[in-house]
Structure 1
C-alpha cells in the first residue's frame, strides 16, 4: 500500500536536549570567535594557538548546528521515514515510547484513522524543551487527532500494558536517555513483550542501534535492519526495524 506523508498542521515539537544544544552553540561559537581574534591580531606563535582554538571550537559548533538543523528540518523528515518503515495500514494500535511533544504520536494518528495511538513518557525537561503531557496534548488538539490518541506517564523499562497489546511500536530519541545499558536492553525486551505477533517496531536514535537490535533478537524478534539514516535526519541518526514472528 502506498505511504502518504503526514499532513502539516500548527504545532510545536520543541528542541531535543536543549541544554546540550545551547552549550555546544555557545561554547563552540565563543571558541571560534576567540580563535579568529587571536589568529588575526596576536603576534608570532600565538597566531597558531588561535588557529588551534578556532578548529577546536568548530567541532562543538558544528554539532550544535546539526541539532538546530535536525529540529527545524530533519525531525519531520525522520518522522515520515520511521512511519513509512512502520508500514501502517490505518487500523493499528500503536505505541510511541518516549513520545515527548508527540511528533511520532501525531504522525501515527494521522495515518491510523481507524486505530488508536498511545504515547508514554517520563517528561524530563533535559530531554526536550517544554517536555510535559500538557504540551503533547496541545499538539494533539492542534493537529486534530485527539479522538484516537491517549497520552500516559510511563517508563519504557516497565511498560504498563499486557503482552501482545500493540500492532506497532515506534520511538525516536528515547532509549539513549536510559543511562544504564542493561536498562536499555530491558526497555527493548519490554517493547518486544507488548508487540503482537506479526507486529513491527521501528526505533530511531542518535547513537548506533546495534545494541537495541541485539536485544530485540534476544527477545525473539527478527531484525530487518539496523543502520544509519544521516541523509534523512540531516544529523546523527540510526534506525532499527524488527518484527515479531507470527
Structure 2
C-alpha cells in the first residue's frame, strides 16, 4: 500500500541553491590553489565552507527549525476548539494544518496565499489541499487565493491570526503596513496575532503599537531559526488586539 507523506517545500529555494553552487565553485578553486602551494587557497577554502554551512543552516531551518518554533508556540497557546484562525501566507499549510488539528467541529482555519514558488518551492494551492487531506483536516480548512494587503474577509471575524515567514516578502514598507492593518481589521478585539519572520520585525512592532495592540513582545528564537547564519535570525512577535473601551 502506498504511503502518503506531507510535503511543505523549502522557503526561498533559490538561496540554498546559490550558496551551494558558489560554495562548490570556491571549494574547487581552493583545491587547485592548494595543490599549487598558494596560501590564498586557505582563505578560499574558508569562504567555501562558509557558503556550504550557510546553505545547510538555511535548509535546516526551513525543513526542521521553523516546525520546532511553531511547535513551541502551539504548546503554550490555548486554542479553543471553536476558534476561527487565519494564516497569512500559508504556503503548503505547515502552520495552518497544525492549528486545524486543535479545532473541533465548529472551528475553522482559513489560509490565504498568492502561491508564489519564489517564496516557497512547489507552492501551490493543490499541494496544500493534499497536505490537509493527508492530515485529515480538510473539513476544517478553507484556502483562499488573495493578497494579504487586501483581504476578502469580514471585519473582526478571527480569534487568532498567524503569519510564518511571509510578510517580509512584501517589498514596500507601505505594503507591509497595509498587511498589518488588514490583519488588525479582521482580528476580533482581544484576539491574538502571532508573527514569525526574519526581517522587518522591529518595523512590525512600531506599526502594531500605532494600531493600539497590547501585550506586545518580540524575541529571537535562537540558532534553531538561523537562515544561513546568526545575522539572519528568526523572530517571534506576539500581540493582543485591544478590546473596545479597554
The answer for the alignment partner of 2:181 in structure 1 is: 189
Check if 1:71 corresponds to 2:83.
Answer: no
Alpha-carbon distance in structure 2 between the residues aligned to 1:188 and 1:223: 16
Check if 1:97 corresponds to 2:80.
Answer: no
Shift of 1:234: 5.5
Q: 1:179 to 1:166 in 2, by over 3 A?
A: same
The answer for the alignment partner of 1:4 in structure 2 is: none
Number of aligned residues: 234
Describe the SS at the equivalent of 1:111: coil
Check if 1:147 corresponds to 2:142.
Answer: no
So what's the TM-score if we normalise by structure 1? Answer: 0.89
Shift of 1:231: 4.1
Shift of 1:208: 5.0
Assess if the C-alpha contact under 8 Å between 2:58 and 2:226 holds in 1: no
Assess if the C-alpha contact under 8 Å between 2:205 and 2:216 holds in 1: no
Alpha-carbon distance in structure 1 between the residues aligned to 2:75 and 2:146: 25
So what's the TM-score if we normalise by structure 2? Answer: 0.89
Q: Gaps spanning 5+ residues in structure 1: where? A: 1-8
Q: Gaps spanning 5+ residues in structure 2: where? A: 228-232
Alpha-carbon distance in structure 2 between the residues aligned to 1:221 and 1:33: 53
Check if 1:57 corresponds to 2:48.
Answer: yes
Q: CA RMSD in A?
A: 1.8
1:135 alignment partner, one of 122, 127, 131: 127
Check if 1:13 corresponds to 2:8.
Answer: yes
Bigger Cα displacement from structure 2, 67-76 vs 135-144: 67-76
Q: 1:156 to 1:108 in 2, by over 3 A?
A: same
Shift of 1:140: 0.5
Alpha-carbon distance in structure 1 between the residues aligned to 2:35 and 2:75: 53
Alpha-carbon distance in structure 1 between the residues aligned to 2:211 and 2:221: 24
Assess if the C-alpha contact under 8 Å between 2:61 and 2:224 holds in 1: no
Assess if the C-alpha contact under 8 Å between 1:94 and 1:167 holds in 2: yes
1:164 alignment partner, one of 156, 164, 172: 156
Q: 1:75 to 1:197 in 2, by over 3 A?
A: same
Bigger Cα displacement from structure 2, 26-35 vs 78-87: 78-87
Runs of 4+ in 1 over 6 A off after TM superposition: none
Shift of 1:230: 2.1
The answer for the alignment partner of 2:234 in structure 1 is: 237
